[in-house]
């Protein structure tokens, strides 16, 4: 009785907006599963296109104009194949802890988001510290953390002229930092304390869920790490994630 009353009051605490948001999240999660299947299906035809165009290109007497066209078909198909492999890699759900090269994980996420950055005219710079030691953690979770932070940065730079800098730094002793800096809209002082709250978003429904940073912070803490933000309204934002070696 007490239990069901508690559950009832918890349910009642969900506002209409939050319900819409939850329904949207659930829909995206379902679509995500379906997309993973679709993307998987794309692999085989893409391989056929790539190898067939290459075979035709090796034939003798193919006119120059046709060769050029084949070259384009082949490079576009390779680009798509690269994207689908990235998506499949990203969506994989094997939670295994292992020795992770943080630089490689950062590079993977940046390569994967290259298209999203280009679409918004954002220049991406990386400054990776190659003295970084490996860390024992779940690389899939680290990818998700980076995806959340970098997508937020890209979304804050929709208006063009965006610059994104991703750095890795080894403290020399016991931790590794990943620093993501953008020159986007910035976060107003009035909301900076709330950005890690569950459901806090300034985006339109369908564009933001307000769960990204909430989940990101929990994930970082599950790795015994810390996440910090500094921002000036209109002057860009910096997120720093610090992960201990042990």
Ligand X SMILES: Nc1ncnc2c1ncn2[C@@H]1O[C@H](COP(=O)(O)OP(=O)(O)O)[C@@H](O)[C@H]1O
List of residues contacting Mg ion (CB under 5 A): 152, 212
Instruction: From residue 98, give the alpha-carbon distance in Å to each of 64, 82, 143, 144.
Output: 50, 25, 14, 16
Residue 209 binding result from ligand X, Mg ion, none, given CB thresholds of 5 to 8 Å by partner type: ligand X
Q: Write down the least CB distance from residue 196 to ligand X, Å.
A: 7
* Residue 19 Ramachandran class (φ > 0 left, ψ -120 to 50 alpha, else beta): alpha
Contact positions toward ligand X, by CB under 6 A? 148, 152-153, 156, 182, 184-187, 195, 200-203, 208-210, 212-214, 237
Q: Write down the least CB distance from residue 128 to ligand X, Å.
A: 20
Q: Write down the least CB distance from residue 147 to ligand X, Å.
A: 10
Check if the beta carbon of residue 165 is closer than 8 Å to that of residue 125.
Answer: yes
Nearer to ligand X, 53 or 237 (CB): 237
Please work out, in degrees rounded to the nearest 5, the angle formed at the alpha carbon of residue 198 by the alpha carbons of 181 and 168: 25
Nearer to ligand X, 132 or 227 (CB): 227
β-pair partners for 245 = none
Q: Write down the least CB distance from residue 201 to ligand X, Å.
A: 3
Where are the strands (E) in the chain, listed by range?
97-100, 123-127, 135-138, 163-170, 175-182, 226-231, 237-244
- Tell me which H or E stretch contains 44: helix 16-58
* Residue 211 Ramachandran class (φ > 0 left, ψ -120 to 50 alpha, else beta): alpha
Nearer to ligand X, 229 or 245 (CB): 229
Instruction: From residue 208, give the alpha-carbon distance in Å to each of 22, 64, 72, 83, 196.
Output: 11, 48, 36, 23, 13
Residue 86 binding result from Mg ion, ligand X, none, given CB thresholds of 5 to 8 Å by partner type: none
Q: Write down the least CB distance from residue 57 to ligand X, Å.
A: 44
Nearer to ligand X, 208 or 244 (CB): 208
Nearer to Mg ion, 21 or 152 (CB): 152
Residue 203 binding result from Mg ion, ligand X, none, given CB thresholds of 5 to 8 Å by partner type: ligand X
User: Minimal CB distance to ligand X: which residue?
Assistant: 212
Token representation of residue 168: 């890795």
Q: Write down the least CB distance from residue 41 to ligand X, Å.
A: 29
User: Minimal CB distance to Mg ion: which residue?
Assistant: 212
Main-chain dihedrals φ then ψ at residue 228, nearest 5 degrees: -135, 150
Residue 195 binding result from ligand X, Mg ion, none, given CB thresholds of 5 to 8 Å by partner type: ligand X
Check if the beta carbon of residue 151 is closer than 8 Å to that of residue 212.
Answer: yes
Nearer to ligand X, 170 or 200 (CB): 200
CA dist 66 and 162 (Å) reads 38
Q: Write down the least CB distance from residue 13 to ligand X, Å.
A: 19
Nearer to Mg ion, 70 or 146 (CB): 146
């Amino acid at each position: 009785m007490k239990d069901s009353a508690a559950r009832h009051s918890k349910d009642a605490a969900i506002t209409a907006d939050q319900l819409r948001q939850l329904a949207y999240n659930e829909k995206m999660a379902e679509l995500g599963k379906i997309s993973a299947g679709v993307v998987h299906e794309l692999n085989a035809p893409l391989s056929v296109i790539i190898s067939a165009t290459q075979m035709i290109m090796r034939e003798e007497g193919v006119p120059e104009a046709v060769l050029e066209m084949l070259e384009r078909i082949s490079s576009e198909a390779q680009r798509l194949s690269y994207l689908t492999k990235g998506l499949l890699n990203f969506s994989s759900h094997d939670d295994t802890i292992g020795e992770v090269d943080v630089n490689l994980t950062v590079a993977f996420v940046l390569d994967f988001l290259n298209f999203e950055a280009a679409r918004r005219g954002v220049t991406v710079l990386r400054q990776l510290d190659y003295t970084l030691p490996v860390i024992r953690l779940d690389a899939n979770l680290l990818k998700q953390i980076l995806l959340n932070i970098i997508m937020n940065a890209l979304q804050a730079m929709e208006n063009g002229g965006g610059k994104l800098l991703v750095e890795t730094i080894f403290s020399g002793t016991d931790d590794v930092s990943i620093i993501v800096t953008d020159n986007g809209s910035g976060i107003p002082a009035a909301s900076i304390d709330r950005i890690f709250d569950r459901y806090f978003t300034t985006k339109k429904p369908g564009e933001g869920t307000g769960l990204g940073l909430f989940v990101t912070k929990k994930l970082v803490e599950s790795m015994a790490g810390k996440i910090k933000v500094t921002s000036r309204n209109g002057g860009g934002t910096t997120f720093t994630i610090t992960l201990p070696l042990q």
